[in-house]
Amino acid sequence: MLDARYVADNLDEVRRMLRRRSPAAAGLLDGISSLSSKRRELIGRTEALQAERNAANDGMAQLAKSGDKAVMGQRREQLKALSERIKDLESELSAIETEMQDRLLSIPNVPHPSAPDGESDEQNPTVRTWGEARSFAFEPKPHWEIGTNLGILDLERAAKLSGARFSVLWGAGARLERALITFMLDLHTREHGYTEVYPPFLVRAEALVGTGNLPKFEDDLFKTRRSDPNDPSALYLVPTAEVPVTNLHADEVLEAADLPRAYCAYTPCFRSEAGSHGRDVRGLIRQHQFDKVELVRFAAPESALEQLELLTSHAEEVLRRLGLHYRVVEHCAGDLTFSSTKSYDLEVWLPSQRAFREISSCSTFGDFQARRAKIRYRPEPKAKARLLHTLNGSGLAVGRTWLAILEQYQQPDGSVLLPEPLHAFMGTDRITGVALR
């Protein structure tokens, strides 16, 4: 969430920064200026009346000494009326502040000055490319054909169980999913210095507000239903481990000496894909349930950009160890996610589509999430607490890594070679057999 005072005092500047995202984003500021002016006016009137009340209270003390009961009764009535006026103003001020808060919760983060200009993902510049696209002596198949032919992927039975955009993995397919999760967690904890976390998969609404998922993306979430559907204690299935892990330190003050903090977590993720409009209806690209290993970092503001580069390199290392051809693109201002101020996407090559597809998004959010979740740090002992900066990225989306291996390592006989780091996990160097059906 943006700083209400900064927005009010620098409205034109904030509007200019949001216009880099889109005119619509800048338009969300309409009305903030008048609310801010009304708030300042109410604060001034309230403080003036409070000062008047304080003076009246002092006067009552003097009258008590004189013993003039008639005057004292009159002054009590005046003081009571004054207190009622103050109470009314405070109620009006509270309503204004609530409206401002609600508006700010729906306003996206401002792009970092270093984020490139642009209106859509088509204008995202490529930062670097790693590896080369494999050449095939045959027409490469899509992962859903490879997996189905090997008997390790079953979309039909998943649809019978749960509907569209779910999958069942059999035999070596299920083992490969588990192997990838273990490989990623081991790499990030043993070599990259992350502390592994196993968080709840159900969270309160407050946690989703803290990361910016609510109220903006309510339609993309799965919500549990209690006996009373209006029960505010109903929980949400996590759309990503970013939500519970970031909120581990909600309402806390960390010490600068303990920063940066780095956590990684595996969770299943649940998304309704309300805005996908029929994209990627086949295969595993866009599922309602999928596995992901998430990287989360907490940093002092001055080191956040450096931490973003480090986090991105950690996600890249997974792809490099697995020998998967990929590229890194930077989000232009118009393609940034709601909470992000600067982001990179890792895009893996899919031979069947002859295209790169996102497999990780690595972002810094500035103090946008920290303000919503009230996560602060103390720059030095006994210093006033300040908002820290939060960062996260997929390290990686497991299902998309799974399908990228099938497509990039497919063989003419229909088998799939396995990257060397997975041999020990899988107990083989190739997937060849047909699982039970």
- What residues act catalytically? 271, 286, 358, 361, 400
Phi/psi class of residue 151: alpha, beta or left (left: φ > 0; alpha: ψ in -120 to 50)?
A: left
Residue 12's Cβ-count burial label (10 Å; 0-12, 13-18, 19+) is exposed
- Residue 241: both structure tokens together: 């481990």
Instruction: With CA atoms as reference, report the closest residue to 296 among 345, 260, 344.
Output: 260
The widest CA-to-CA distance across the chain, in whole angstroms, is 107
> Strand 326-330 and strand 126-130: pairing?
antiparallel
Measured from the Cβ of residue 76, the count of other Cβ atoms closer than 10 Å reads 13
Measured from the Cβ of residue 146, the count of other Cβ atoms closer than 10 Å reads 24
Q: How far is it, in rounded angstroms, from Cα 135 to Cα 124? A: 26
Q: Which residues pair with 350 in a beta bridge?
A: 355
8 A C-beta contact, residue 325 and residue 217 = no
Instruction: With CA atoms as reference, report the closest residue to 240 among 211, 261, 274.
Output: 211
To which H or E segment does residue 391 belong? strand 389-397
Asked, as a colleague might, if the bond just before 388 is cis with ω within 30 of 0, I would say no
Measured from the Cβ of residue 23, the count of other Cβ atoms closer than 10 Å reads 8
- Residue 293: both structure tokens together: 């290993």
8 A C-beta contact, residue 113 and residue 17 = no
Q: How far is it, in rounded angstroms, from Cα 250 to Cα 248? A: 6
Phi/psi class of residue 90: alpha, beta or left (left: φ > 0; alpha: ψ in -120 to 50)?
A: alpha
CA trace torsion 262, 267, 272, 277 (10° rounding): 70
8 A C-beta contact, residue 135 and residue 343 = no
Q: For residue 394, how far is the Cα from the chain centroid?
A: 11
Measured from the Cβ of residue 273, the count of other Cβ atoms closer than 10 Å reads 16
Q: How far is it, in rounded angstroms, from Cα 297 to Cα 290? A: 22
